[in-house]
Amino acid sequence: MASRDYSERDVEEFFDQTLQNYLSFWDSDGVLHTGYFAAGNEGDYQAAAQHTSAVLAAEMMIDGSSRVLDAGSGCGNFLLYLAREYGCSGEGLDLSEKRVKFAMDRLTAAPGLRITFRHGSVTNMPYQAGAFTHVVSQDSLCLVPDKPRSHAEIARVLAPGGIFAFSDFLQPKEHVSERARRHVFDRVRWNGGYSLIGYQEALDSCGFEILLARNLRSHIRQTYRVLGETAVERAKTVPGQSARDWMLSFAESCREMQVAIDDEEFGWGIFVARKRSA
């Protein structure tokens, strides 16, 4: 099936326009990524989302001397977490001006951290070559229409030997059904992405050595199961028809996302790669 070819402008508008809805339902701090569920805690999305950040951080060899770029930083949560936990410096870059403003407002409430946030695209980054020791990202790079371009930019701004650690949506099958297109891809203005193997090949061709590639489909399935059930419950009490409609439509998409995951049309993984020295 042909891709819809969403542009960066479409993606930017979507993430600007949906900020308030996601803040009121998904997470009031603006977290918007897949949860990594710990055994025995399968019902707590917030804890799982926090755990995703901890899992990635533990794999990326970060310390107080690290200079970190968060590519697609959204409301700033991952970089705030890394700066607080590890004392690193860094910058978050995001296409949505509203999310960048939200992140900057959070930063004013957290003085002393050596980080900032900037509006811009990962396909054209305002940084010098080799400016960062680490590039991180959570569930953002899949949304870039020109992925070879963003990978090349990430390789450019990383110092030789630098670490690229991220989570992202996967598209295990090349062709997807109209149902998955509507509920999964069109829902977030996603043109589509790589399989687990395809992602590693793309990174390899941009000068990265793969250190870790983990298929985590059960975690994204659990994320949408928990979020969908929460949306159904909230729809019973939330005031206002349009908020109720949004919750119910989101819950329906969550059910369809689980079908798409079972059908190998949609997935999720984490990756750690090192920029080759020469």
Ligand X SMILES: C[S@@+](CC[C@H](N)C(=O)[O-])C[C@H]1O[C@@H](n2cnc3c(N)ncnc32)[C@H](O)[C@@H]1O
Please identify which residue in 6, 25, 26, 32 interacts with ligand X, judged by CB under 6 A. Answer: 32
Between 81 and 86, CB nearer to ligand X: 81
Q: What residues contact residue 211 under an 8 Å CB cut-off, 6+ apart?
A: 59, 163, 272, 273, 274
Please identify which residue in 82, 122, 206, 216 interacts with ligand X, judged by CB under 6 A. Answer: 122
Is residue 34 within 8 Å of 40, Cβ to Cβ?
A: no
DSSP string over 108-177: HTSTT--EEEEE--TTS--S-TT-EEEEEEES-GGG-S-HHHHHHHHHHHEEEEEEEEEEEEE--SSS--
CA 144 centroid distance within chain: 11
Alpha carbon distance, N-terminus to C-terminus of the chain: 39
Residue 33 as a binder of ligand X (CB under 6 A): the answer is yes
Residue 140 as a binder of ligand X (CB under 6 A): the answer is yes
Between 152 and 244, CB nearer to ligand X: 152
Question: Please, what sign has the CA dihedral across residues 95, 195, 270, 38?
Answer: positive
- The two three-digit tokens of residue 20, written as one number: 């308030």
For the CB of residue 127, give the shortest distance to ligand X in the complex, in Å: 13
Please identify which residue in 37, 78, 132, 194 interacts with ligand X, judged by CB under 6 A. Answer: 78
- The two three-digit tokens of residue 275, written as one number: 């920029």
Between 120 and 244, CB nearer to ligand X: 120
Residue 253 as a binder of ligand X (CB under 6 A): the answer is no
Residue 223 as a binder of ligand X (CB under 6 A): the answer is no
Residue 15 as a binder of ligand X (CB under 6 A): the answer is yes
One-letter amino acid at 52 equals T
CA distances from 9 to 16, 97, 120, 267 (A): 11, 12, 11, 25
Between 94 and 265, CB nearer to ligand X: 94
For the CB of residue 37, give the shortest distance to ligand X in the complex, in Å: 16
Between 146 and 244, CB nearer to ligand X: 146
Residue 93 as a binder of ligand X (CB under 6 A): the answer is yes
For the CB of residue 134, give the shortest distance to ligand X in the complex, in Å: 15
Residue 66 as a binder of ligand X (CB under 6 A): the answer is no
- The residues binding ligand X (CB under 6 A) are 8, 11, 15, 31-33, 72-74, 77-78, 93-96, 99, 121-123, 138-140, 143-144
